[in-house]
Chain A
Amino acid sequence: MPTRCFRIHPQDNVATLLDDGSPGPAEVLGHTGPDRLDLVETIELGHKVALYDIAEGEAIVKYGVSIGRATAAIAAGRWVHLHNCTSRFDERSQTLDVRTGATTDTRYE
């Protein structure tokens, strides 16, 4: 069974993984748009994949609203997360470990 991801709103440029995905073809469910996509890297369930090429500075759109801004160019099929997307409000989250979300700015000494 191909990896499934879900696009919530027609304007979204990302979809959410419904399975753990590895590089290769994925099925895009939900609202209109491409119904197939090639994942170019491993992306875990619940995480987001770019549906199109997204330019640096462009809004990341999910639920039809901007949930942040791209901090680098993101190719279609790539993982969208802390390493290439930033909040318009929250600065601290940018310091967290991209895979585990673990803090890096609290001192344990």
Chain B
Amino acid sequence: MSKPSHTATWQGYLRPDGRKGVRNLVLVVYTVECAHHVAAKIAEGEQDTHVIGFPGCYDNQYAVNLMLALARHPNVGAVLAVGLGCEYTRPDKLAEVVAQSGRPSDWFRIQQVGGTRSAIERGKQRVRTMLAQIREQTPRVDMGLKDLTVGCECGGSDGTSGLAGNPTVGAFFDRLVDAGGTAVFEETIEMIGLKAIMLARAATDEARDQIDAAYEKAVRYCQAVRQYSVSPGNFAGGLTTIEEKSMGAFAKSGARPIQGVIKVAQSPPAPGLWLLDSVPDEHFMQFGYTNPNDTEGLMDLIAAGSQIILFVTGRGSVIGSPIAPLIKVTGNSATYRRMEEDMDFDAGRVLSGEMTLDQAADELTQLVACTAAGEPSKPETLGHREYFIMYKHQDTPPLQVGCRL
């Protein structure tokens, strides 16, 4: 049987670092909540212009790393950084690093260019100029599955997620990896109780040690914050324990060996299947929260360079994402029918006997290829561009550094 979707090629956008994008976007980045409104107004009504930003006035290395990874994402062609003028995070430095990556970039501080209206007007001019520039100048290039990094997380899970939604993505991930592409899954706090199963999937001894460390940290984290990653909706949907939810969530990783563990804002150093550790490290600010909502986790997957992300839901969800198109998969056909305007893929057909898991994975592969070729996903069409960048620490400085006590 021929499987044309696995060998599909389409036209992508070549970035100076050699990575290939499936969209050609201008990204507006604000560096404090005070600049949020201006940034949103700059992007409003502009084509192919997305917004992200960080609300805090005190800067945070994790958040800066994350913003820089997103600003140099393969789907992003140019960046405008907008600050207020008082905050620690520096829009000038963001723009400088983006420029070093070979992308057009600009920045300003609102306090220095007038006020709200003048800042919006200036921002819009810059966005339009840069968009015209990247549309004209970005080289088009052939792309296939081997050039794709795809991330997956699940949210609003129910009893069908582990039976159909996540296994379908797992079978797709196997196809992506076999084609030479890169797959990223995360949520180590949803792998509680599965240590032996995860370690058995390690590609190398080094990967095994990395998985072991990430797992143990996730357990310590959940104990420290006295909260496991399971929600009222999960219980209402039939999941009874975190162990049960974990087994279902882990099914999205498919069956290929895990090459290693990356942290937030890192890209996988080689193709294959990778585990993303987004759990905060122990720190003098304490752990904080790891994935306070689904959007936060999606940002991590995009920052790993995923040009497309998959979101598996059972109960239903309406979120989308900036930068990388989000494809929504549900294993629950009733949810698909009820929320068809938001759902891209009904993996529940595997449970009704309408198709096999392999057929579902082939169809999903085709959908990913079509989306990569430019076909908008449903969340994209609906205008969903949710983002969330928070304070977090994935480094542990000596406790005495920073303040005179």
Contact = CB atoms under 8 A, between A and B. Distances in A.
B243 A66 contact: yes
Contacts of A6: 163, 351
A85 B245 CA distance: 14
Given A46-B158, A46-B332, A101 B244 contact: no
Residue of A17, A63, A99 with most partner-chain B CB within 10 A: A63
A56 B233 CA distance: 27
Contact of B234 (A62, A88, A101): A101
Contacts of A63: 162, 244, 247-248
B226 interface: yes
Interface string A55-75: 000001011011110000000
Given A65-B197, A89-B241, A101-B236, 14 more contacts: A6-B163, A8-B163, A16-B160, A17-B238, A45-B332, A45-B334, A46-B237, A46-B238, A47-B238, A63-B244, A67-B243, A100-B236, A101-B233, A101-B234
A82 B235 contact: yes
A89 B351 contact: no
Contact of B235 (A16, A65, A96): A96
* Secondary structure class of chain A's binding surface, majority of residues: loop
B240 interface: yes
Contact of B244 (A67, A96, A100): A67
Interface of A: 6, 8, 16-18, 44-48, 60, 62-63, 65-68, 80-82, 85-90, 92-93, 96-97, 99-103
B245 to A, nearest CB: 9
Given A6-B163, A46-B158, A82-B235, A90 B240 contact: no
Contacts of B237: 46
A91 B191 CA distance: 17
Contacts of A62: 244, 247
B80 interface: no
Nearest to A99: B236
A8 B219 CA distance: 26
Contact of B230 (A65, A66, A80, A90): A90
A109 B248 CA distance: 36
A46 B243 CA distance: 16
Contacts of B238: 16-17, 44-48, 81
Interface in B195-227: 197, 219, 222, 226-227
B197 to A, nearest CB: 7
Contacts of A103: 232
Nearest to A8: B163
Nearest to B162: A63
Contact of A48 (B197, B232, B240, B334): B240
B373 interface: no
Residue of B197, B227, B243, B247 with most partner-chain A CB within 10 A: B243
Given A65-B193, A65-B197, A67-B247, A92 B240 contact: no
B240 A82 contact: yes
Interface in B88-134: none
Nearest to B235: A101
A90 B232 contact: no
Contacts of B163: 6, 8, 16
A97 B222 CA distance: 21
B226 A92 contact: yes
Nearest to B234: A101
Contacts of A66: 193, 243
A6 B18 CA distance: 46
Contacts of A17: 159, 238
A67 B190 CA distance: 13
B231 A101 contact: yes
A65 B236 CA distance: 22
A50 B116 CA distance: 62
B228 A96 contact: no
Interface in B17-75: none
A92 to B, nearest CB: 7
Nearest to B245: A67
A18 B158 CA distance: 11
Contacts of A92: 226-228
A73 B150 CA distance: 44
B242 interface: yes
B241 A68 contact: yes
Contacts of A67: 193, 240-241, 243-244, 247
Interface in B341-399: 351-352
